[in-house]
Structure 1
């Protein structure tokens, strides 16, 4: 319940920010803006310089001067609205970030202020009704404006028919009396002012005074001013609390800033964001805000009689869903709420595939977070909030399509380690293999069906090319995983060591990485075309730079590094002598790396035998023998070293020197000049 209350208390600030963003942050929009940029340029000559302003004004007619004055007035009002709207957004954001105890204090204060104004306006409305009824009654009886039959007389005479008549002012006064009693009780309980006994006793009297005066036969002038005097005491308490809390508010904001600064300095930005994210329960707050927003919109749609009658029609339901989706992403805060819903759905999609695969990996549960980030970036990149409703719906559907293809990649990231684990560990559980292969079949068949549908129903566009690239890429990745899975299964049922297995796996993975790299380049040029010729924007340009760095440059550098390591290892292994059949027969041992029988082997300089493939994998890590830690291959050392000697030879020479200096205290120059013969 406390968590629910905390969530509900943080929703109203989001509605305030959403409303300010929906009205354009106070700026005039549409046809209501009589003084748009074109009319301004037309009405005011931009060529008038500062020196010509005063002489020019003197020749303006009165209508032109009035028109310019009205124009500057509109500009000033627009700027003030803009400033006040931004201040409102900042204030609402600060309220949203408050600790729960401070948030409760804010709401108690706002409730007390609201009670004062509700009490005042209901008293004013009641007094107007009573004064109007008295005046009409006295005018009709010809008595005058001061003599009349009061409600007190009706009470004393027990004239219940007149008192309980809903159209009579007696019933309105009694109703207002009951309402003021309730408001006085609530205000007495929630107000934050000083709770002196005298003040607590005077507050109910202050609230109910106009209703009491309306019962008694007082002049209408007193009844007219009664609501103002009745609101003085509670309003004074409210203002007193506001002035006394000014220093506390400054201290609260300053304390929050210091807390965030210390957390940022000691633990970093990620820890600060994660801590505040958990404290504020942001995903749940955003989901609640978006659902309430959508429910309000659906209620307004259902209030239409025609929509209510055709509620069961499919087209009506479809139009309601379309309207909800369009209305649910018209502002940045609404997009954030929809992002939270998308994250929630994607999280359970990931849990569903984990349930199918019988796997439980904490890292895979980040699929909801990654999907939320991707969806929000797509919304910002495509300018979703600034589009017309029809274009916004089309763009939203396209973003969902891109998001779903990205989900297929996430699912592949879940199933790929499982496939490798099942094949490499010789897992005999058949149903786990079947589940993994079923998910792989889905990851192949569904993108193919999606591509057939999209290419048959949509014209060629940059969006369609992007979806196609993502879909083909996931198909290639799944095929690569299945091929490696098959190779590992074949190797599991072989009785002898398969020396070429590592080469086959490397070639298959190199093919998949090359295809992925080519698609990355293609998507970069596709995005560049969109940026230049279709829809530019800062967000899209930034995302293209991020894509170019991480998906192109970093991938190319990593691939080239692996290729160079492999080539260097192959060259090093080729420099080692091959063991003969007689030597292997005389050794009659297994490889110390893989513990498999050796039908062929390489001999290191320290006279140890290993499989060539195993030794090559070992060289990816270090250049020393797994058994004696000696250098695996020959290096050239001496006083005059050849300029073409490798860095590895220098490192090995230095390593040997370090070993020598520990035992014999030999300096480096003596070592290079022949001291290693010791």
Structure 2
């Protein structure tokens, strides 16, 4: 991407940030809805209308006040909602339409700035003129200009200097307005604009009545306001047409490709993550500047000579305040989520660089972390807490996010470990890198647990963090044990038949531990929901956890266990090959191409390793060589149709096993 393209992309991002600030301001005031404090609730709770005699006239007065307050609150809420919707509509505009909107807003802002500058200047000029006239009755600004009295004109405390200053300011504003306004650029109108802006300054030099001079700033805004209103009315049809075209485009896109495709396309077009990051950084920078200004105004000469410790404490307090204010609204939480996603993405890239891998699936760590943090923020009601509780909750959410990040890192290193051990990779530095990451994934959560349990009392949050940390340690230990078994098998000269059983038992142990932790976390969440902080989002997340992490995992684990047990029974029903038969055969297993020191003989008189044949039975019940039935079920004399029943049973088992053709016996209870 060229430098010009990068600059344009950055400019487009900055153009979409102001609508988010508008929405954020509306959310700060809770969309105009009143927020009652605890004291107000206490006062209201002490008032009982049943025991107070209210005259009829007073009752009507209170009813009228209540009606007016309700109407005013409802009006504010509607205005705030319309403001939020308008800001979001501006946010999703295309760049060319967005530029037009900003040009219109800038031109309107210039008119108001010109008006207030003229009002302020006229008031000061009138005050100074009266003071000068009382001392020198014959003096005036026009005479000083005609007589070229430079001394009076350049006097900083004189009215002449204010007039010149206002001239320069108004001419600059008129020049800027001429270039940004969207009205008709006729030559006559363009020439009249500077005169309109500078008219109050001209009138201030003439002996006009004070009342007329006082109202002159209003008349100076008539021409630019006419141009602005003309643009608004002239573009009304175009605005409606753009909105309708956007609606038609979205509707057609959804009907052809689906809602998810539309969201993904617009997400990429608007560059939402980058916009949210810039919004949050600017918002935090604004809060930091305000805090620094407040601290600077409160500091004295003695306070400036603080020690380094006090300076560090001040920085820590400032960082805490910025974190608290950085998640006080939904838009602020979205911005913080985007920043966290950015850092998590580069953390994942760092570990990928260490492990010398570049898998595309592992690059989603930033997206998954962002979703998890945002769900935690909504689930814990982060924006509705007071500042102190919000900071504590934010730190706890960060701890949960860090433990989840460790699980993501294990998902990156685990397939690399299995690949290095199973492929007999001789690259020592790759083994060392992978083992170093595993050591980090064991030591860091253990250190975190030691610190948390030494600094905090037992709570549901601490139990949840502990469960996640212990779970990641168990998963890493299981991966290292399987990695060690594969390495041992790589240096063996003979086929290791028990390897598959050992791998299955280790994985079954790890998956059983994870399943138990899933049940524990469900009950822990249920306790929080019932006795600490309930909510619809937490209830929904618990239902999702119960279905996917408990019910689906238990069903899948039981299915694998039953299929493995069925396969073992089938293998045990086959004859074991003797040493003489193996010596006479003098061949390798047709499945793994390894030498056979022990084997099973099928009904079709073919020889295979028992372990290899068991793996094959996870795919189908027929011989890999001749496709005959591998095992024979004893006929039941009481069944008249035993042969047909056996054939039907075999077909049903084939259909059942073909549902998961990639399942291997070492996959564990999952």
TM-score between both structures, scaled by the size of structure 2: 0.90
Measure how far apart 1:554 and its partner are: 1.2
| Pair 1:25-2:34 in alignment | no
Q: Please give the alpha-carbon distance, in whole angstroms, between the structure 1 residues aligned to 2:631 and 2:156.
A: 106
Q: Report the number of matched residues.
A: 638
The match for 2:197 is 207
Q: Please give the alpha-carbon distance, in whole angstroms, between the structure 1 residues aligned to 2:79 and 2:241.
A: 23
- Whether contact under 8 Å (1:339, 1:376) holds in the other structure is yes
Q: Please give the alpha-carbon distance, in whole angstroms, between the structure 2 residues aligned to 1:272 and 1:597.
A: 57
Which stretch shifts more, 629-638 or 507-516?
629-638
Q: Please give the alpha-carbon distance, in whole angstroms, between the structure 1 residues aligned to 2:168 and 2:535.
A: 59
Within 5 Å, give how 1:325-340 maps onto structure 2.
Answer: 325-340=323-338
Measure how far apart 1:374 and its partner are: 0.7
Within 5 Å, give how 1:103-502 maps onto structure 2.
Answer: 103-138=98-133, 149-303=139-293, 304-305=295-296, 306=298, 309=304, 310=306, 312=308, 313-502=311-500
Which stretch shifts more, 587-596 or 526-535?
587-596
Structure 1, residues 516-558: CA drift from partner, whole Å, max 9, x if none?
0000000000000000000001111111011111111111111
The match for 1:593 is 591
Measure how far apart 1:249 and its partner are: 1.7
Equivalent residue of 1:598, what SS?
coil
Structure 1, residues 348-394: CA drift from partner, whole Å, max 9, x if none?
11111112111111111111111111111111111111111111111
| Pair 1:79-2:74 in alignment | yes
Measure how far apart 1:431 and its partner are: 1.2
| Structure 1 gap ranges (5+) | 48-55, 655-678
Q: Please give the alpha-carbon distance, in whole angstroms, between the structure 1 residues aligned to 2:134 and 2:256.
A: 79
CA 1:197–1:311 in structure 2 vs 1: closer, same or farther (change >3 Å)?
farther
The match for 1:2 is 8
Within 5 Å, give how 1:638-677 maps onto structure 2.
Answer: 640-641=641-642, 645=646, 648-650=649-651
Structure 1, residues 493-536: CA drift from partner, whole Å, max 9, x if none?
11111111111101100110000000000000000000000000
The match for 2:65 is 70
Structure 1, residues 229-284: CA drift from partner, whole Å, max 9, x if none?
22111101111111122222222222222222222222223322221111111111
The match for 1:661 is none
- Whether contact under 8 Å (2:621, 2:650) holds in the other structure is no
Which stretch shifts more, 563-572 or 515-524?
563-572
Measure how far apart 1:615 and its partner are: 1.2
Q: Please give the alpha-carbon distance, in whole angstroms, between the structure 2 residues aligned to 1:517 and 1:524.
A: 11
Q: Alignment RMSD, CA only?
A: 2.6
Q: Please give the alpha-carbon distance, in whole angstroms, between the structure 2 residues aligned to 1:140 and 1:643.
A: 126
- Whether contact under 8 Å (2:482, 2:506) holds in the other structure is yes
Measure how far apart 1:423 and its partner are: 0.2
- Whether contact under 8 Å (1:631, 1:652) holds in the other structure is no
- Whether contact under 8 Å (2:577, 2:600) holds in the other structure is yes
Structure 1, residues 35-81: CA drift from partner, whole Å, max 9, x if none?
x696399476699xxxxxxxx99x524x4433432232122111111
Q: Please give the alpha-carbon distance, in whole angstroms, between the structure 2 residues aligned to 1:229 and 1:7.
A: 38
CA 1:31–1:631 in structure 2 vs 1: closer, same or farther (change >3 Å)?
closer
| Structure 2 gap ranges (5+) | 1-6, 656-670
TM-score between both structures, scaled by the size of structure 1: 0.89
Q: Please give the alpha-carbon distance, in whole angstroms, between the structure 1 residues aligned to 2:631 and 2:178.
A: 90
Q: Please give the alpha-carbon distance, in whole angstroms, between the structure 2 residues aligned to 1:229 and 1:652.
A: 91
Which stretch shifts more, 603-612 or 514-523?
603-612
Q: Please give the alpha-carbon distance, in whole angstroms, between the structure 2 residues aligned to 1:577 and 1:474.
A: 43
The match for 1:603 is 601
Equivalent residue of 1:65, what SS?
helix
CA 1:643–1:398 in structure 2 vs 1: closer, same or farther (change >3 Å)?
farther
Structure 1, residues 155-184: CA drift from partner, whole Å, max 9, x if none?
121112221122222211111111111111
